[in-house]
Amino acid sequence: MGTKAKAGRKQLLLFTSAILCPLVLGKGTVHIPEPEVRVPENNSVKLPCSYSGFSSPRVEWKFVQGDTTSLVCYNSKITVPPSKPTVNIPSSATIGNRAVLTCSEQDGSPPSEYTWFKDGVQMPTDPKNNRAFINSSYTLNQKSGELVFDPVSGSDTGEYTCQARNGYGTSMKSKTVRMEAVELNVGGIVAAVLVTLILLGVLIFGIWFAYTRGYFDRTKKGTSSKKVIYSQPAARSEGEFKQTSSFLV
């Protein structure tokens, strides 16, 4: 087998968990054709490796830099340590309601698992197993990083932090965010309803007052059409002239 990597001014060594012990027992061999490979920086390089005499070996490529050794390739996949996770935590949550806190990061390979901390104390997956969290009702999914309070209780107020780890490299913690568990503002709701009823009452009273004062009748009269009244002239003798008819507009 072999692996590809970008060469730098570093040293790459091969280790397998199955090699160290079986080599001592003489049950397997590992062959590296070139123990030392020199490649210009920023170029690609292929590192070959062959082995025999092992039953279902687990092959790992590790990177050595000084006294630090980190895993590069496991199960034919390149490993990357987790990056700093991103969290979505509400600043306040109403007691009795449902609240969802999320945590995620995209760089870890294999995918990271997540742990939550409240006020610096690690939260157990089951709150009933820990006295410090026995009054909380939540579910914690370490795979998805989701922390759900259902329902929120007064004891859930605190500062929350999430940690991502995948077994390779250093575990990473998110920023710390405070969440306040608050009571439902019943007084505010009642006040809003009362104000609405008062405004509705004032509107109804205004309509009634205008009606009793005849405002609507005057408006109706002012918009009615004018009528023309014609009176017939009275009979008169011949040769006599006198205005006997009129128009009233």
pLDDT in tens, 83-112: 999 999 999 999 999 999 999 998 888 899
Query: Are the C-beta atoms of residues 160 and 89 closer than 8 Å to each other?
Result: yes
Q: Is the Cα dihedral 123, 126, 131, 134 positive or negative?
A: positive
Q: Under DSSP, is residue 151 helix (H, G, I), strand (E, B) or coil?
A: coil
**Among 5-9, 33-37, 88-92, 186-190, the least confident range:** 5-9
Written as six digits, the tokens of 235 are 């009979």
Question: In the predicted model, what is the mean pLDDT of residues 181-189?
Answer: 78
Please give the pLDDT value at position 7: 42
Confidence band of 179 (pLDDT split at 50, 70, 90): very high
Please give the pLDDT value at position 8: 41
**160 pLDDT exceeds 60?**
yes
Please give the pLDDT value at position 28: 79
**139 pLDDT exceeds 80?**
yes
Query: Are the C-beta atoms of residues 183 and 97 closer than 8 Å to each other?
Result: no
Tell me the C-alpha distance between 236 and 242, whole Å.
8
Q: Which residue's entry shows tokens 């072999």? A: 2
**Among 33-37, 69-73, 115-119, the least confident range:** 69-73
Residue with the bigger pLDDT between 10 and 28: it is 28
Confidence band of 205 (pLDDT split at 50, 70, 90): confident
Please give the pLDDT value at position 227: 55
Tell me the C-alpha distance between 101 and 159, whole Å.
12
- Bridge partners (DSSP) of residue 5 are 45
Tell me the C-alpha distance between 116 and 133, whole Å.
12
Question: In the predicted model, what is the mean pLDDT of residues 161-165?
Answer: 97
Tell me the C-alpha distance between 24 and 16, whole Å.
13
Please give the pLDDT value at position 237: 54
Q: What percent of the chain has pLDDT over 70?
A: 73
Residue with the bigger pLDDT between 190 and 219: it is 190
Tell me the C-alpha distance between 12 and 71, whole Å.
11
CB-facing half-sphere around the CA of 123: CA atoms within 13 A: 31
Tell me the C-alpha distance between 197 and 173, whole Å.
51
Tell me the C-alpha distance between 154 and 129, whole Å.
19
Please give the pLDDT value at position 221: 60
User: What pTM value is reported for the model?
Assistant: 0.54
DSSP string, 42-73: T-EEEEE-EEES-SS--EEEEEEETTEEEEEE
Buried b (16+ CB within 10 A) or exposed e, 239-249: eeeeeeeeeee
Helix (H) or strand (E) holding 185: none
Q: Under DSSP, is residue 85 helix (H, G, I), strand (E, B) or coil?
A: coil
Please give the pLDDT value at position 121: 95
Please give the pLDDT value at position 246: 53
Confidence band of 225 (pLDDT split at 50, 70, 90): low
Phi first, then psi: give them for residue 92, nearest 5 degrees.
-145, 150
Tell me the C-alpha distance between 249 and 231, whole Å.
12
How do residues 14-67 score in pLDDT, each as one tens digit? 433 333 333 333 567 888 888 788 888 888 888 888 888 888 777 777 777 777
Sheet architecture: strand order including 59-65: 11-16, 59-65, 68-74, 77-78
Query: Are the C-beta atoms of residues 82 and 108 closer than 8 Å to each other?
Result: yes
